Structure 1
């Protein structure tokens, strides 16, 4: 069963990513505690974790508010994420997908069948899959945190742009299953490089409103 701090954290993070909690919104512990039906302690723990992840900022005498991230900050996070995910793809290929091999084959099959892609979810599900396939739990944890931090930036990426990533995912999956670390790493690098370019293009539209 999910703990109270984890439940509050998950809900607030999702609302920030979706834009339900706008940038600059004040987050008051007592109001959130009443809303979630918990004491202020789990709310405080959740807010501390959100601050660590970069979703909120705490200022002396002002309290906690939703962070107003810049496009430049997100691009920097994407650059870190790219380096870690390239490593994850290389390690996953060295294991030929490990216990995630069947799920990686499903990614290829879905692309071949031209299955309709839902916005955002598959994009990050695939990256979580590769991180797990790496067999490195610490690396998986680091990538998971960066996925949360950069998911916010993709809230305005179009369905068409998400769908285009399906071919990249299938290519990376094939390289992993073939046991080709160099190719898997290069393909992941190219894929995330394209994501960075999309975010760079969306930068002013997303962050200057």
Structure 2
């Protein structure tokens, strides 16, 4: 539901050793992914800091990172507003993603043939996919998306190309942001197709078969792009903006 005047924000904790700013960022990403804020909602640092019981500094750091990741627009003198990408941006992102994942797959297959990718590496991919199919992940879309990102990210890491990994990581959060459903539940209808596609990728790597990997990648990304665009078109546009706390009302 949209974030209203009385909605409370509950701080989440990231990885051990995470900074306060990272925990604030994680909290806001979780809320955005769940659709707690509508497109265009202005996020006031004062209100967030007050509700989380922290100073303004980590909140501003978190919002700046969210802007860099594409979750919000940071506009000078107008603040931070929750951002929804348009169809053209999502399509462009998927085109770049496909090129990177195909290149990574080609390199990973070659490394598998050369014995540089072990059965244990492939088993780890399988474990990530099984985790996506667990009851815990199926009950939590944000957790499901995180596991999905980790699976694709690990496949790219198996390419052994640090520059490719860095470029892919720079768009990974933007891909997740494009999958925000804002109250839609259509992702559950796609679980079987997604699972079959992921196993196709994993098995192709296990067999060191790039032709199979390419086919599986193109099928998977074509289907996921179609679904992302359908969800984008179906999202309600409600600009019930989050209000400032009374102490900072204009």
The one-character-per-residue Cα deviations of 1:136-185 (angstroms, maximum 9, x if unpaired) are 34433433443322223333433121321111111111111122234323
Greater mean deviation of Cα atoms: 169-178 or 133-142: 133-142
Q: What is the RMSD of the two structures over their aligned residues, measured on CA atoms? A: 2.7
1:192 positional shift: 0.7
Q: Which residue number in structure 1 is paired with residue 151 of structure 2?
A: 126
User: How far apart, CA to CA, are the structure 1 residues paired with 2:148 and 2:178?
Assistant: 13
Residues 25 and 198 (structure 1), Cα distance of their counterparts in 2 relative to 1, 3 Å cut:
same
State the Cα distance separating 1:45 from its structure 2 match: 1.4
Secondary structure, counterpart of 2:160 in structure 1: coil
Q: Which residue, out of 137, 147, 172, partners 2:172?
A: 147
| In structure 2, distance between residues paired with 1:43 and 1:59 | 16
Q: Where do 5+ consecutive residues of structure 1 fail to align?
A: none
How far does the alpha carbon of each residue in 1:91-114 deviate from its partner, in whole angstroms, 9 at most, with x for none? 222222456222234468x5xxx9
Q: 2:217 aligns with which of 179, 188, 196?
A: 188
Aligned length: 206
- Normalising by structure 1, we get a TM-score of 0.83
Q: Which has the higher helix share?
A: 1
Q: Is the 8 A contact 2:39 2:237 kept in 1?
A: no
Dislocated runs of 4+, deviation >6 Å? 114-117
- How high is the TM-score relative to the length of structure 2? 0.71
Partner residue in 2 for 1:170: 199
Alpha-carbon distance change, 43 to 107 in structure 1, aligned in 2, over 3 angstroms? closer
Q: Deviations over 1:62-113 (max 9, x none)?
A: 21111132222222212211211222222222222456222234468x5xxx
What are structure 2's unaligned runs of at least 5 residues?
1-16, 239-250
Q: Secondary structure at the match of 1:57?
A: strand
Specify the structure having the higher radius of gyration (Cα). 2
